Amino acid sequence: MPTNFYYIYALKDPRVSPAKPFYIGKGTGSRAYDHLVKPDKTLKYKRICDIIASEKTPLVDILADDLTETQALKLEAELISAFGTETTGGLLTNTVVPAGLGGKKRKNLIVPQGAVERAQIGLEFIKSAIVELIRMNSDGITNADAASLLGLRSDYRGRQKDYLSYSVLGLLLREGKIRREGNKHISNQ
């Protein structure tokens, strides 16, 4: 079975010249075109409706094809980071940063463009790896299992720390993707 069937696409706004991207995604089959006919409540779909209301049609541009899923994920992440999201002053309507997760910001602290998107994309990769590890181990895993097996353990002043995996497991619990039974984490899917 071929594994290079992913592609990266951009949805572009033709109301400006040259047309500017407002969404970057990865897909297979008709995924890039599905956005134009499947209503949802995202900023992306609102932009699509605005473009159609102006009697134009959003452009679908296949940027790269014949990619493995890993290649597609990496390229998608790089492009989202490069263009930035509207919530961080960039062009894209992609919703990489979950709403309501922003913490307090110190005054005069500069966040480089694309840094938030790269961090959130990296977090999604870690969450995906942990969920997959849990699914493959039906009796569950501990925080220490996730930290050591996935290389997430830090070494601070000669002491092993599992804070990163503990935080990510907490996010997965809040999202309802996993549940806790005793000291083990079990998949909800």
- pLDDT digit string (tens) for 34-57? 999 988 889 999 999 999 999 999
Domain 115-187 top-level CATH class: mainly alpha
- CATH architecture of the region 6-88: 3-Layer(aba) Sandwich (3.40)
Question: In this predicted structure, what is the pLDDT of residue 96?
Answer: 63
Please state, in angstroms and rounded to a whole number, the distance separating the CA atoms of residues 180 and 72. 33
State pLDDT tens for residues 147-172.
999 999 887 777 777 888 888 998 88
At 96-150, the pLDDT tens digits run 643 333 455 677 888 787 777 778 778 888 988 999 999 999 999 999 999 999 9
Q: What is the pLDDT of residue 74?
A: 81
pLDDT at 97: 46
- Domain(s) labelled CATH 3.40.1440 in the chain stretch across 6-88
Mean of pLDDT values over 4-10: 90
Confidence at 24, pLDDT banded by 50, 70, 90:
very high
